[in-house]
Amino acid sequence: MPLNNGYGVLIGSLHNYYRDPPDDFGRYYHGNLVVHAPAGNYKCAIDVDPKNMPDGIQWRTVRLRALDFAAISSLPDGWHPLALDPSSGALDYIRSKVLHPPVVIHLLRYSSCLNRLLAWLRWNPPWKSGTGFQALTELEGVIDDGARFFVFGEPFSSGLGVHNVHQNQGDPVGGGHDAENWIWQDGGTIVLKADGRLLGFLNKFQTQSFTTDERGRPA
Q: Is the pLDDT of residue 210 over 90?
A: yes
Q: What is the tally of structural domains in the chain?
A: 1
Is 216 a domain residue? Answer: no
Range of the domain at 36: 8-99+128-205
For the residues 194-203, what does the mean pLDDT come to? Answer: 97
Share of the chain above pLDDT 70, in %: 88
**Model confidence over 141-197: pLDDT tens digits?**
999 999 999 999 999 999 999 999 999 999 999 988 999 999 999 999 999 999 999
Helix (H) or strand (E) holding 139: helix 132-143
pTM more than 0.75: yes
What pLDDT does 194 receive? 97
Q: Is the pLDDT of residue 122 over 80?
A: no
Q: Which amino acid, 130?
A: G
Cβ 109 vs Cβ 152: under 8 Å: no
156-182 residues labelled b (16+ CB within 10 A) or e (exposed): eeeebbbbbbbbbbbbeeeeeebebbb
Is 37 a domain residue? Answer: yes
**Model confidence over 129-139: pLDDT tens digits?**
999 999 999 99
Is 171 a domain residue? Answer: yes
Helix, coil or strand: residue 152: strand
φ and ψ of 200, to 5 deg:
-115, 130
Band of residue 110 on the pLDDT scale cut at 50, 70, 90 = very low
Is 179 a domain residue? Answer: yes
**Model confidence over 23-77: pLDDT tens digits?**
866 677 899 999 999 999 999 999 998 877 888 999 999 999 999 999 999 999 9
φ and ψ of 105, to 5 deg:
-120, 125
Is 113 a domain residue? Answer: no
Is 62 a domain residue? Answer: yes
Is 117 a domain residue? Answer: no
CA distance 136 to 131: 9
Cα dihedral angle (125, 143, 196, 90), rounded to 10 degrees? 70
Of how many residues is the chain composed? Answer: 219
What pLDDT does 169 receive? 98
